[in-house]
Amino acid sequence: MKNRALWVVLIVLAIVSLLMVFVIMPRLNPPVGDLPTVTAAADAAKSAADEAQATAEGAVQDVASAASQKMDRLKEEAVKAVDGISALFADGRTPGIEAYTAAKTLAQGALQAISSIEIPDDLDATVMNGIKTVQADAARALEMVQQLPADPAKAAGLIASIKDALLGKPVTQPAPATEATAEIAPRFDVLRVEPNGSTVIAGNAVPGATVEILNGDQVISSQTVDGTGDFAAVLDQPLPPGDHALQIRATAPDGKVVTSEEV
């Protein structure tokens, strides 16, 4: 009996030893040959994480660049549209109501495009603040365009301040037009007298006005100005030799009468 018990003890110890050597110890200490594989896997995971982060940062930069480029393009188009209104009033001219209305509508559309652009939420604070500043300037300029009078003759003094507002410059509000300054006097652009006395006269007045050319107190020509404000006349009777005092008298559609200086 004692021998049997001894053998059982020895067999149990042998089994436990085998389990320690072949099962438990390998799990506690992985073979040296497996270590490079584990290290490589860790490196690959870190590399993938770094690449994902770089991709995300690049995507954010691309969004910011696209937003800035779009805003620059829209602002450039708005400046051109506002310049288009200013060009109609160059050299003291008064544009026709059709051209004036079309230019004003174009400027409103260009400014509205800036004011209504959607700003991505994940932009850099500096880029976002820059875009918001341009939007605020455009909104101010848009309000000024919308407040322009329908009559182009009354809008000349208001145009320059619109571009200043769009560019973020200080805007000086023009003084309210008085009755005298609101009236745009007609003017001579061309006055040519040929040797035979025939006379060609061209000028500009308020669109739709009735223009009379005066020689002293005598009306020597009369016509209605078209929508451009330009007119031209060839006198039916040549001017006789001597000195003449010519003026243009324009009666606007609202009944106001304005006379040019003598030439």
Residue 48 counted as domain residue: no
Same domain, 61 and 162: yes
Confidence class for position 179, pLDDT limits 50, 70, 90: very low
Same domain, 128 and 72: yes
Range of the domain at 245: 185-259
Domain count along the chain: 3
pLDDT beyond 50 at 85: yes
For 96, residues 6+ apart whose C-beta sits below 8 A from its C-beta are 152, 207, 226, 227, 228, 229
Residue 200 counted as domain residue: yes
Same domain, 191 and 238: yes
Q: Provide mean pLDDT across the span 42-60.
A: 54
CA distances from 55 to 42, 106, 136, 225 (A): 20, 40, 33, 66
The whole-model pTM stands at: 0.47
pLDDT beyond 50 at 67: yes
Name the domain boundary from 166, 196, 213: 166
CATH number of the domain bearing residue 245: 2.60.40.10
Q: Which helix (H) or strand (E) holds 133?
A: helix 125-146
Residue 206 counted as domain residue: yes
Cβ atoms within 10 Å of 139's Cβ, excluding its own: 17
Q: Provide mean pLDDT across the span 57-79.
A: 72
pLDDT beyond 90 at 105: yes
CA 161 to CA 165: how far, in whole Å? 6
Same domain, 212 and 244: yes
Same domain, 76 and 15: no
* Window from 48-52, 161-165, 175-179 with minimum mean pLDDT: 175-179
138-152 tens-digit pLDDT: 898 898 898 888 878
Cβ proximity of 260 and 223 under 8 Å: no
Same domain, 199 and 254: yes
Pairing of strands 218-224, 210-215: antiparallel
Same domain, 69 and 112: yes
Percent of the chain with pLDDT over 90: 5
Phi, psi of 187 (to 5 degrees): -145, 160
Same domain, 161 and 203: no
Q: Is 258 helix (H, G, I), strand (E, B) or coil?
A: strand
pLDDT beyond 90 at 66: no
Same domain, 129 and 198: no
